[in-house]
Amino acid sequence: MNLDWDEFIVTGEPFIHAGQISILLTTLGIIFVLTYFKKWKWLWKEWVTSVDHRKIGIMYIIASVLMLIRAGVDAMMMRTQLAVPEMPFLGEAQHYNEIFTTHGTIMIIFVATPFLIGLMNVATPLQIGARDVAFPFLNNLSFWTFFWGAMLFNISFVIGGAPDAGWSAYMPLASNDLSPGPGQNFYLLGLQITGIGTLATGINFVVTILKMRAKGMTLMRMPMFTWTTLITSLIIIGAFPILTVALAMQTFDRLWDTAFFTLQDGGMPMMWVNLFWLWGHPEVYIVILPAFGIFSEIITTFARKRLFGYTSMVFAIAAISGLSFLVWVHHFFTMGAGPMVNSFFSISTMAIAIPTGVKIFNWLATLHRGRIQFSVPMVWALGFIPNFTIGGVTGVMLAMAAADYQYHNTYFLVSHFHYVLIAGTIFACFAGTIYWWPKMFGLKLNARLGHWMFWLFMIGFNVCFFPQYFLGLDGMPRRIYTYFPEDGWFGLNFISTVGAFMMGIAFVIFVYNIYYSYRYQPRETTGDPWGGRGRTLEWATSSAVPPHYNFAKIPEVKGQDAFWQMKQDGIDPNEIVEYQDIHMPNNTGNPFIMCVFMFIGGFGLVFHWWPIAIIGAIGIFICMIQRSFSRDNGHIVSAEEVRKEEEGIREGQAHENG
């Protein structure tokens, strides 16, 4: 690629200059703080190299929240641009294209997916009574592939130029001819690197859940979140390799002039569309099923009842996961597949509403006659049900192939998928984070601020997206960067923008709540912080990160809602007659270094700088060989240490209670 040095750094747009300056200042700020407080070694030893699933989960969540801020700022810039007709805010269409592309890509790949994987990391091993995941090294590697893949994608807006072909990157729009420059390459390689880690996570959790359950925890006694983690992991294994291949083919088309997706030389653009959605549709369920699991946990806990229809819930998830692979064509009904094909995919899409409906009724039945406590996680779960249902019902409307010709590529669609993805996934991310916050950090987030955030976000969300259904029915296409006063879309667009900013403010309250709670909230010592309502095993062990072995003694499971059962039977899971040595894995810096080389290699490919790409590849191989030869067998936490740790926790509890 012939790239002049003055094109290397993106110039011209005031917002991008502001972005560059803020990135520079933030980086310098972080370096200064870490150096001033002498925290580099701590960061490396305690976090970067950690193989502890809870710490990895926390790192996932922190990184996802940072990505959420970036993609959220993108969203507010778009909403500002569309607030009034002929708005000059973003200058030109190109800039708008880049912003909606990065907004979509980051929200799906670098927020929703890793956020949920973070929560899986925090909760799933605890829920099944395991000490860690099956492959702790691989777990650390997965996190860093996500992190460095995200970094590679994100630097595109200050270096080289951002991708502009939409998050679905349709060919030939994403080809060299129509998307010149390195922007689309950043998309391809950033996603490719992240995808490796996601696949590894899928394998890791399947093995963890199938092989490492505590004694007595049969499959049909597993908590619902563990079930959704298992099924999601299986979908990941089935879907992500498709993305890997599709991305590789587009990369080849752009870098080595192959002809997979361009009509020239016989390629087929439709094949990209098919492969993309053959991954992309299951991906929708990768980010919604764990959310269902989180809500199931929260609703049972705060309704103080067993989950209604547990078995039907499991079958519903399994059915949804199967159907998720059979509906991908509904993303392009209007591309001329013919009535038979469209009918098949129309019906298979509508069929998904059946198991989903089963789940909704199960949640409602669980609430029925429950002793409901309106805690912050619970209000998110309760808010989820009606909002998600609105998204689901409009989804069925879209599933009617004939009617889809009317809605296709309008704001009706935009509103639909925001209703399912925000009310489903994002609500669940907030709910799950608040719910498991005491497990991660040893304190509860402030409830008053939590309720403020919830109401602002809930109202803002509906104010933002409900008008968009009507904008869509009124014919406003998606992805336009401006419109005329005579189009008549001003009023609803303006309302929508107000809603977007309300959500922004709600998020600021969330961030403030984290700071406020860290300073002023009382520390949690019981391990079962939600008023003793905890039902599953993660609440049977002490709070917060330190006891890295999870359970001093692996609990024995006697039924569903294992911890609740123990409480009923008067069993103290922490009562230990004899302490035993615990074998734990060692920390390792190898994955971090390997992923830095992946970043370097990816960066070289983006700019066709082969020597840099080769350096990256060699670095990756050296790390792999190092790993193969290492004889790291982990370490033993001696019975004595376990006893000290556990007695310390007991004393803390006695202090709190006494």
Cα 193 to Cα 208: distance, rounded to the nearest angstrom: 23
What SS3 class is residue 477?
A: strand
CB 338 to other proteins: min, Å: 17
CB 67 to other proteins: min, Å: 25
Nearer to other proteins, 16 or 206 (CB): 206
Residue 491: count other Cβ atoms within 10 Å of its Cβ. 11
Cα 521 to Cα 356: distance, rounded to the nearest angstrom: 38
Q: Is 65 in the site for other proteins (CB under 8 A)?
A: no
Nearer to other proteins, 20 or 274 (CB): 274
Per CB under 8 A, which region of 83-91, 99-107, 120-128, 201-209 contacts other proteins?
A: 201-209
Q: Is 656 in the site for other proteins (CB under 8 A)?
A: no
β-strand partners of 443: 523
CB 245 to other proteins: min, Å: 4
Per CB under 8 A, which region of 25-33, 246-254, 470-478, 532-540 contacts other proteins?
A: 246-254
Helix (H) or strand (E) holding 381: helix 376-399
CB 294 to other proteins: min, Å: 24
Nearer to other proteins, 279 or 310 (CB): 279
Q: Is 259 in the site for other proteins (CB under 8 A)?
A: yes
Nearer to other proteins, 5 or 256 (CB): 256
Cα 230 to Cα 226: distance, rounded to the nearest angstrom: 6
Q: Is 632 in the site for other proteins (CB under 8 A)?
A: no
Instruction: Report the relative pairing of strands 582-584 and 635-637 from DSSP bridges.
Output: antiparallel
Cα 327 to Cα 349: distance, rounded to the nearest angstrom: 5
Q: Is 248 in the site for other proteins (CB under 8 A)?
A: yes
Q: Is 72 in the site for other proteins (CB under 8 A)?
A: no
Nearer to other proteins, 266 or 611 (CB): 266
Contact 587, 139 (CB under 8 A): no
CB 566 to other proteins: min, Å: 24
Query: Looking only at residues 489 through 508 of this chain, which bind other proteins when binding is defined by CB under 8 A?
Result: none
| Strand runs labelled E in 275-345 | none
Contact 440, 122 (CB under 8 A): yes
Residue the block writes with tokens 């029915």: 473
Q: Is 654 in the site for other proteins (CB under 8 A)?
A: no
Q: Is 578 in the site for other proteins (CB under 8 A)?
A: no
Among 622, 583, 582, smallest CA distance to 601 is for 622
Q: Is 384 in the site for other proteins (CB under 8 A)?
A: no
Binding mask 202-241 for other proteins (x = CB under 8 A): xxx-xx--xx-------------------------xxxxx
Q: Within 13 Å of residue 226, how many CA atoms lie on the same side as its CB?
A: 30
CB 271 to other proteins: min, Å: 6
Nearer to other proteins, 139 or 513 (CB): 139
Q: Is 45 in the site for other proteins (CB under 8 A)?
A: no
Cα 388 to Cα 433: distance, rounded to the nearest angstrom: 19
Q: Within 13 Å of residue 45, how many CA atoms lie on the same side as its CB?
A: 5
| Strand runs labelled E in 519-591 | 582-584
Q: Is 88 in the site for other proteins (CB under 8 A)?
A: no
Nearer to other proteins, 56 or 106 (CB): 56
DSSP secondary structure letter of residue 583? E
For residue 335, give every residue at least 6 positions away whose Cβ sits within 8 Å of its Cβ, in sequence order, or none: 270, 273
Nearer to other proteins, 581 or 656 (CB): 581
Cα 365 to Cα 119: distance, rounded to the nearest angstrom: 26
Binding test (CB under 8 A) with other proteins, winner from 123, 273, 275, 422: 275
Per CB under 8 A, which region of 19-27, 139-147, 348-356, 626-634 contacts other proteins?
A: 626-634
Q: Which residues of 527-562 are buried (b: 16+ CB within 10 A; e: fewer)?
A: bbbbeebbbbbbbbbbbbbebbbbbbbbbebeebbb
Q: Is 617 in the site for other proteins (CB under 8 A)?
A: no
Q: Is 101 in the site for other proteins (CB under 8 A)?
A: no
Nearer to other proteins, 170 or 466 (CB): 170
Binding test (CB under 8 A) with other proteins, winner from 199, 314, 329, 358: 199
What SS3 class is residue 635?
A: strand
Q: Is 256 in the site for other proteins (CB under 8 A)?
A: yes
Cα 600 to Cα 617: distance, rounded to the nearest angstrom: 9
For residue 648, give every residue at least 6 positions away whose Cβ sits within 8 Å of its Cβ, in sequence order, or none: none
Among 320, 316, 286, 322, smallest CA distance to 120 is for 286
C-beta pairs of 453-459 under 8 Å, 24+ apart in sequence? 453/506, 453/507, 453/509, 453/510, 453/513, 454/376, 454/379, 454/380, 454/383, 454/506, 456/502, 456/503, 456/505, 456/506, 456/509, 457/430, 457/502, 457/503, 457/506, 457/507, 458/383, 458/387, 459/499, 459/502
Nearer to other proteins, 241 or 386 (CB): 241
Query: Looking only at residues 112 through 171 of this chain, which bind other proteins when binding is defined by CB under 8 A?
Result: 134-135
Q: Is 268 in the site for other proteins (CB under 8 A)?
A: yes
What SS3 class is residue 653?
A: helix
Binding test (CB under 8 A) with other proteins, winner from 73, 271, 319, 326: 271
Nearer to other proteins, 267 or 377 (CB): 267
Nearer to other proteins, 237 or 396 (CB): 237
Nearer to other proteins, 268 or 509 (CB): 268
Q: Is 257 in the site for other proteins (CB under 8 A)?
A: yes
Nearer to other proteins, 37 or 256 (CB): 256
Binding test (CB under 8 A) with other proteins, winner from 4, 86, 265, 572: 265
Site residue total, other proteins (CB under 8 A): 39
User: Taking phi first (over 0 means left), then psi (-120 to 50 degrees means alpha), and beta for anything else, what does residue 575 get?
Assistant: beta
Nearer to other proteins, 232 or 493 (CB): 232
CB 622 to other proteins: min, Å: 12
Nearer to other proteins, 12 or 266 (CB): 266
Q: CA 265: distance to chain centroid?
A: 39
Cα 34 to Cα 583: distance, rounded to the nearest angstrom: 32
Q: What is the 3-state secondary structure (H, E, C) of 284-302?
A: HHHCCHHHHHHHHHHHHHH
CB 238 to other proteins: min, Å: 6
Query: Looking only at residues 579 through 598 of this chain, which bind other proteins when binding is defined by CB under 8 A?
Result: 583
CB 207 to other proteins: min, Å: 5
Q: Is 244 in the site for other proteins (CB under 8 A)?
A: yes
CB 256 to other proteins: min, Å: 6
Site of interaction with other proteins (CB under 8 A): 134-135, 199, 202-204, 206-207, 210-211, 237-242, 244-246, 248-249, 252, 256-260, 264-268, 271, 275, 583, 625, 628-629, 631
